[in-house]
Amino acid sequence: MTFEAEITPGMTPGEAVELGCLVESVGFDRLGISCVAGWPDTYQLQVLIAARTERIHIGSMVTNPYTRHPAVHAAALATLQELSGGRAFCGIGVGAGLEELGIDYPQPVATLRAAIQTIDDLLSGREAIAGATLIRPPDVRVPIAIGTRSPGVMKLAGEVAEIALVGARHLTPEIVSRYRGWLAEGAGRVGRDPSQIEVLPRVTLCVSDDEGLAVESVKRFAAHYLGILGDHGPPVDPARREAIVATLTHASGWYFDLSRYDPPEMLRLIDADLARQFAIVGTPEQCAVQLGELLDMGFDGVSCNLAAVNRDSMFAGLRETIEGAGKMLRLLD
Q: What is the pLDDT of residues 2-26, one digit of tens each?
A: 999 999 999 999 999 999 999 999 9
| Spatial CA neighbour of 2 closest among 208, 323, 304, 330 | 304
Average pLDDT over residues 209-223: 98
Identify the pLDDT of residue 105.
Answer: 84
Count Cα atoms within 13 angstroms, Cβ side, for 153. 25
> Which domains, from first to last, does the chain contain?
2-210+279-332 (3.20.20.30), 219-277 (no CATH)
Q: What is the pLDDT of residues 226-273, one digit of tens each?
A: 999 988 899 999 999 999 999 999 999 999 999 999 999 999 999 999
Identify the pLDDT of residue 106.
Answer: 84
Q: What is the spatial distance between Cα 24 and Cα 46, in angstroms, rounded to a whole number? A: 13
pTM summary value:
0.96
Q: What is the spatial distance between Cα 58 and Cα 81, in angstroms, rounded to a whole number? A: 9
| Farthest CA pair distance, the chain | 58
| DSSP alpha helix (H) spans, 11-67 | 13-26, 42-50
Q: What is the pLDDT of residues 72-123, one digit of tens each?
A: 999 999 999 999 999 999 999 998 778 888 888 889 999 999 999 999 999 9
